[in-house]
C-alpha cells in the first residue's frame, strides 16, 4: 500500500477524510473495512464535500480510497436494509445517487480520481466521471449491477456519453470485471501508471491544473456540461425511474441476499 489508510482530516466527516494542500483538496473515501462501499451517509457526505469544494478556494480535487480498494460500489448490507421501503422512498434514494454523480460531473473545479484498487459498480462511476482518471495496473472496474438483479441505471447515462452505445452495452449487459488496461483502451482511464508513481503523476497533473486560470477552468467545465445538459437531463430522469423500480423487484431481493450469503442467485424466469 502506497499511502496511509488513515489521514489527518481538516474537515470532519464520518465516512470521508478531507485534506487541503497547495491549492488541492483530497477527498478520501474512508471505509477501508468495507472496501469503501457507499452507504447513504457516504453519498450525502460526498455531495456535501463537493458543495464545500464549490464554495472553497481550492483549485483542484483528488478522489482516493483508503485501504486496498477505491470503492466497491453501494454497500449491499445497506441495500438489503432498504427492503420494504415505499416507492417514494426508493425514488428519493435514486435521486440522491443522481445528485451525487451530477454534482461530480458539473463540479466547477477540475477533478482527478487516483484508482489503486477495485472500483466497482457505483465506484466505477465515481472514478470515471471525474475529469481525469489515473489507475494502477491492478485496478479493476466493472458495472456489475446485473449480477445482483439490479439495474446499472444512473452510471449508464454517463457511460454512454463517454464511450458510446455499443461499448456501453457490452459492459452493462455482461457485468464483467475489466482491468485498467482495457479501461484505458475504452477511454475511461486517462493513464495507467505504476503503484509507485501514482502519487507522483497525480501531483504533476495537479500542478499543471493549478497553474491555469481558475476562472477559465470553471468556464470550460460549465461549457462542456451545458453542451451535454439536454441529453443528460433526459437520460438521468429515465435512469432514476429504472433505479427506483429495480429496488422493489424479486430479482433484486434475491441477488442481494445471494451475494451476502455467498451463494449463486436463483433468478425468476
Q: Region 182-192: what's the mean pLDDT?
A: 98
% pLDDT > 90, the chain: 84
Res. 7: pLDDT tops 70: no
Q: Which of 145, 179, 182, 215 is catalytic?
A: 145
Res. 23: pLDDT tops 50: yes
Note the pLDDT of residue 267: 95
**Other beta carbons within 10 Å of 99:** 18
Note the pLDDT of residue 11: 63
For residue 109, the 8-state DSSP code is S
Res. 64: pLDDT tops 90: yes
Note the pLDDT of residue 6: 35
Q: Region 56-68: what's the mean pLDDT?
A: 97
What's the sign of the alpha-carbon dihedral 151, 152, 154, 156? Answer: negative
Q: Region 96-114: what's the mean pLDDT?
A: 97
Instruction: Give CA separation, 189 vs 36, 88, 184, 224, 245, in Å.
Output: 20, 36, 4, 19, 31
As a whole number of angstroms, the distance between CA 175 and CA 169 comes to 10
Task: Dump the DSSP string for 202-242.
Answer: HHHHHHHHHTS-HHHHHHHHHHHHHHTHHHHHHHHHHHHHH
As a whole number of angstroms, the distance between CA 58 and CA 52 comes to 10
Note the pLDDT of residue 138: 95
Confidence of residue 5 (pLDDT cuts 50, 70, 90): very low
Q: Which residue has the higher pLDDT, 203 or 269?
A: 203
Which of 46-58 are b and which e, b meaning 16 or more Cβ less than 10 Å from the residue's Cβ?
bbebbeebeeeeb
Res. 206: pLDDT tops 80: yes
> What is the fold of 11-196+214-260?
2-enoyl-CoA Hydratase; Chain A, domain 1 (3.90.226)
pLDDT tens digit string along 209-238? 999 999 999 999 999 999 999 999 999 999
Average pLDDT of the chain to the nearest whole number: 93
As a whole number of angstroms, the distance between CA 134 and CA 190 comes to 6
Q: Choose from 73-82, 90-99, 180-189, 241-250 the range with maximum mean pLDDT.
A: 180-189
242's grid cell = 429504472
Res. 86: pLDDT tops 60: yes
pTM beyond cutoff 0.85: yes
Q: Tell me the longest C-alpha to C-alpha distance in the chain.
A: 57
Domain ranges, ordered by start, for the chain: 11-196+214-260
**Residue 240 contacts residue 98 (beta carbons within 8 Å):** yes
Q: Which residue has the higher pLDDT, 6 or 101?
A: 101
Confidence of residue 32 (pLDDT cuts 50, 70, 90): very high
Q: Does 41 participate in catalysis according to the annotation?
A: no
Amino acid at each position: 500500500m502506497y499511502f496511509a489508510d488513515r489521514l489527518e482530516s481538516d474537515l470532519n466527516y464520518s465516512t470521508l477524510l478531507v485534506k487541503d494542500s497547495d491549492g488541492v483538496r483530497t477527498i478520501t473515501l474512508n471505509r477501508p473495512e468495507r472496501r469503501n462501499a457507499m452507504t447513504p451517509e457516504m453519498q450525502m457526505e460526498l455531495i456535501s464535500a463537493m458543495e464545500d469544494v464549490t464554495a472553497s478556494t481550492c483549485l483542484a480535487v483528488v478522489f482516493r480510497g483508503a485501504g486496498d480498494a477505491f470503492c466497491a460500489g453501494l454497500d449491499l448490507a445497506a441495500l438489503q436494509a432498504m427492503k420494504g421501503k415505499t416507492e417514494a422512498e426508493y425514488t428519493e434514494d435514486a435521486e440522491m445517487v443522481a445528485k451525487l454523480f451530477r454534482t461530480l460531473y458539473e463540479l466547477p473545479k477540475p477533478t482527478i480520481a487516483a484508482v489503486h484498487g477495485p472500483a466497482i459498480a457505483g465506484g466505477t462511476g465515481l472514478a470515471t466521471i471525474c475529469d481525469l482518471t489515473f489507475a494502477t495496473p491492478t485496478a479493476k472496474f466493472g458495472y456489475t449491477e446485473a449480477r445482483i438483479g439490479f439495474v446499472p441505471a444512473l452510471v449508464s447515462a454517463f457511460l454512454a456519453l463517454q464511450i458510446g452505445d455499443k461499448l456501453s452495452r457490452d459492459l452493462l449487459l455482461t457485468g464483467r470485471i475489466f482491468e485498467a488496461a482495457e479501461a484505458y483502451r475504452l477511454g475511461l482511464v486517462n493513464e495507467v501508471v505504476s503503484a509507485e508513481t501514482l502519487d507522483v503523476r497525480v501531483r504533476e497533473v495537479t500542478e499543471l491544473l493549478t497553474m491555469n486560470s481558475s476562472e477559465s477552468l470553471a468556464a470550460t467545465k460549465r461549457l462542456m456540461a451545458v453542451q451535454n445538459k439536454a441529453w443528460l437531463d433526459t437520460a438521468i430522469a429515465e435512469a432514476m425511474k429504472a433505479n427506483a423500480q429495480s429496488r422493489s423487484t424479486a430479482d433484486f431481493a434475491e441477488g442481494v441476499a445471494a451475494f451476502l450469503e455467498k451463494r449463486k442467485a436463483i433468478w425468476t424466469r
